[in-house]
Chains A and B, each alone.
Chain A
Amino acid sequence: MLQQSARDFLNRQAPVKHLRSLRDAGGSKGFSREVWAEMSALGWPAMAIPEEYDGLGFGFTGMGIVLQETGRTLTPCPLLSSAMMAAAAIVHAGDDAQKSTLLPGIASGEALVTLAFDEHTHHRPGQVAATAKRTAGGFCISGHKRFVLDGAMSDQLIVSARTDDRVPDGRGISLFIVPATASGITITPCQVLDTHVLADITLDDVRLPAAALLGAENEGLAILEYALDAGRIGQSAELLGVALEAFERSIAYLKERKQFGVPIGSFQALQHRAAVLFGELELCKSLVLNALHRLDSDANEIAATASMTKAKVVETASKATAEAIQWHGGIGMTDDFDIGFFYKRARILETMLGDRYFHLDRFARQHGY
């Protein structure tokens, strides 16, 4: 039911044409505030937020179903950054004051919160050079965060910074809730492949009260990893939608396009590849559902699940969207035709929060080999 209503809404209000018009309009808005307000009215950002903080308390499974649908229409929106990842961090580690200040705003869609963690051109959340020094009233943060998803549109940032540089390997990192308008913050948007806007954020002696600390001091990396894993699972749901839609559009084309007097779908060279891909996509569906359920039930054990899911879904989505172009022939390479947008989105989702190599490696490490 949720899936059908999400699909109906997106096909009506924000189909691929919507992405195209945002892209053509240029500028660095990233997504449409109007469409976001309508999504919010449907309760989408409230999905994974507990009822006591004005959420719907449906958990992440419902969110995953919606993300799969936004993947099908490639609708840009801050569900993943704010309502999934930032919400996960706050629900998981926030104190009551933080939860009651931030979560209702995220749930209503009026406030956007995003995580700012990457500092390198590669996803390495454990490598943090930004520092947070204790001051009389709290902390003072300096550092440089890069490729922050929806970073130019968010009201609050959850920033990772080093609070203790004597301990290596992850410990000694803390998370801070930082208003995007705090003095000392400079935000530079960067347009990527489709309409996504990633921000480059520098923090220069940003002063924060002690209450800005999210979770225990020096224990921020575990919280961050949990929120990132939630994000990776959300991405997998979205990627699954991207892949399924590209696949279904291509199957329709195989039935329609004729060469040599017959539909190209009658060539076994294409039939077998479509059949193989169908099986792979079935595997991905199971992985995504499993990961969403695990996220809702067993929050502490999701690292290997998240990496397993993302690694497999990324490889399949990358394959499905590349095949989609190939099966369309010349027209698949044109900008006027929509299929290329799926290929681009799959790449963005792969690259953010760890690509296939990152997750294959992480999965192996999680299993001790």
Chain B
Amino acid sequence: MTQPKDFRTQGRAWLENNCPADMRSPLQTEADLCWGGRRFRFQSADQETWLRNMAEKGWTAPGWPREYGGGGLDQEHLKILQEEMHRIGARAPLYSFGISMIGPALLKYGSEKLKQQHLPPIVRGEIRWAQGYSEPNAGSDLASLQARLEDRGDHYVLNGSKIWTSYGDLGDWMFCLVRSDSEAPKHGGISLVLFDMATPGVSTRPIRLISGKSPFTETFFDNARVEKDQVVGELNNGWTVAKYLLTHEREMIGGSGLRPSGEEPLGRIAARVLGLESGQLANPMLRGDIARLEIDSEALGLTMQRARDEVKAGASLGATSSVFKYIGTELNMRRQELLMAIHGLASLDWSGPDSAAGRLPRAWLRSRGNSIEGGTSEIQLNIIAKHILGLP
């Protein structure tokens, strides 16, 4: 592998040449996020170019092995790449449940066929994945799920439903947790299966969030066909795979507590919006809360980095991911609350022309879901108490 110093020089030059100027500015709206997939419509030619350039280098999934289209970088080189992207304020080229969730699970548990089939299109942003875990009666108690997988000889069929499927209506493929043996003990008869959401018998119904948007769905399965080779890991051993996948999801969500690349620090936003008196914000309480948030966020970034340094690129952080999930989401929620306070009365504007269609209050409302999605805060704290602290 290239020497770290040379890698930095070469990477910097490459980014200079390949990251379009528009992709070096903070995200303005949700539409600025590039999710890829069959149904994705690029906001701009630059957005598409940026994805394509990065995907060609394998840098949409820089830690994945080269044979599956990834960047093949180790932890040290990954960090350099991140620093260099941060330096120019480059946006993430791709947001993807494929990269943050199912990919890592495939890398660890998937058959060679599944890896070859699914990983390269994820790297290229061609296939968008949805997560079929939760059911109405299986939320925190995920293992009580009921969606039923039946063997029909040369294939399976799936019946039942899922709920809170993020972007269920935009997903191309689903990774879905199903009950494949109803006789076995609760955690024993579960499998993780993959299928195309265009399969006959799969349908979705949108659910509207308190933010007024509908980013998730109910998802129904009516005798939907699942191919036999689309089981991740062994049949009935899905709970292990599912938990492993969750540690990656939680680490990803924990990242929401960090300031997004290219975004102004909160204190600077406050200074700009509220103005300063003798060099400081006039309200000492607000000033204190902002400083506290900025410090916590910095500390989280350092700690996530420290934890990452201690494991191999792409490996799971295990139960530590619950620490980051909990702290990161608390921070993002605090941040959104502070942004509301900083913008004052203007923060209430739901749809006026000055409010970018209520971007601020909608993001604030959306953030309440952070401590619920990916396992609630309470569940994270239970995991930390039990699996890290060893409490009885």
Contacts and interface: CB of A to CB of B under 8 A. Distances in A.
Given A322-B368, A330-B163, A259 B345 contact: no
Interface stretch (B57-65, B187-195, B204-212): B204-212
A171 interface: no
Contact of A352 (B163, B285, B345): B345
Contacts of A123: 344-345
A274 interface: no
Interface string A188-207: 00111100101000000000
A278 interface: no
Interface residues of B, number: 45
Interface stretch (B9-17, B90-98, B114-122, B349-357): B349-357
B283 A358 contact: yes
Nearest to A273: B378
A61 B352 CA distance: 36
A122 B137 CA distance: 44
Interface centre among B144, B345, B351, B373 (most CB of A within 10 A): B345
A236 B221 CA distance: 48
Contacts, number: 114
A348 B348 CA distance: 7
Given A122-B274, A259-B139, A360-B285, A351 B368 contact: no
A347 B348 contact: yes
Contacts of A146: 345
A269 B382 contact: yes
A352 B134 CA distance: 38
Given A123-B345, A191-B351, A259-B140, A332 B372 contact: yes
Contacts of B347: 351
Contact of B350 (A191, A332, A334): A191
Contacts of A193: 348, 350, 361
Contacts of A264: 140
Interface centre among A122, A269, A344 (most CB of B within 10 A): A122
B345 A334 contact: no
A14 B372 CA distance: 31
A121 interface: yes
A357 B285 contact: yes
B368 A198 contact: no
A322 to B, nearest CB: 7
Contact of B340 (A191, A351, A360): A351
B219 interface: no
Contacts of B372: 325-326, 329-330, 332-333
A252 to B, nearest CB: 18
Interface in A282-341: 322, 325-326, 329-330, 332-336, 340
Contacts of A53: none
A83 B210 CA distance: 31
A196 B351 CA distance: 12
Interface centre among A120, A121, A322, A325 (most CB of B within 10 A): A121
A198 B345 CA distance: 10
A121 B210 contact: no
Contacts of B107: none
B348 to A, nearest CB: 4
A360 B289 CA distance: 13
A198 B350 CA distance: 11
A261 B376 CA distance: 18
Interface in B253-292: 273-274, 283-286, 289
Interface in B145-198: 163-164
Given A269-B382, A330-B163, A355 B341 contact: yes
Contacts of A260: 140-141, 144
A267 B344 contact: no
B316 interface: no
A192 B368 contact: no
B285 A361 contact: yes
Chain A: interface size category = 35 or more
B295 to A, nearest CB: 18
B371 interface: yes
Contacts of A121: 273, 343-346
B311 interface: no
A348 B364 CA distance: 13
B302 interface: no
Interface string B210-235: 10100000000000000000000000
Given A333-B209, A334-B209, A351 B163 contact: no
A340 B210 contact: yes
A44 interface: no
Given A330-B164, A343-B368, A357 B286 contact: yes
Interface centre among A146, A191, A264, A360 (most CB of B within 10 A): A191
Given A146-B345, A259-B140, A333-B210, A325 B382 contact: no
Interface in B322-374: 340-341, 343-352, 361, 364-365, 368-369, 371-373
Contact of A347 (B212, B340, B373, B377): B340
A336 B141 CA distance: 23
A146 B377 CA distance: 39
Given A118-B345, A326-B377, A330-B163, A192 B141 contact: no
Given A122-B274, A335-B209, A340 B365 contact: yes
A329 B346 CA distance: 29
A325 B368 contact: yes
A147 interface: yes
B136 to A, nearest CB: 9
Interface string A119-157: 011110000000000000000000000110000000000
18 contacts: A123-B345, A191-B352, A192-B348, A259-B144, A325-B368, A326-B371, A330-B163, A330-B372, A333-B209, A334-B209, A343-B365, A344-B365, A347-B364, A348-B348, A351-B340, A355-B341, A356-B285, A357-B341
Given A335-B210, A343-B210, A351-B344, 17 more contacts: A121-B346, A147-B348, A192-B349, A260-B141, A322-B368, A325-B368, A330-B139, A330-B372, A333-B209, A334-B208, A344-B365, A347-B361, A352-B345, A356-B341, A357-B289, A357-B341, A360-B285
Query: Would you list the 7 A-B pairs with minimal beta carbon distance, nearest first?
Result: A340-B210, A192-B348, A122-B344, A335-B208, A259-B141, A121-B346, A357-B286
Interface of B: 134, 137, 139-141, 144, 163-164, 207-210, 212, 273-274, 283-286, 289, 340-341, 343-352, 361, 364-365, 368-369, 371-373, 376-378, 381-382
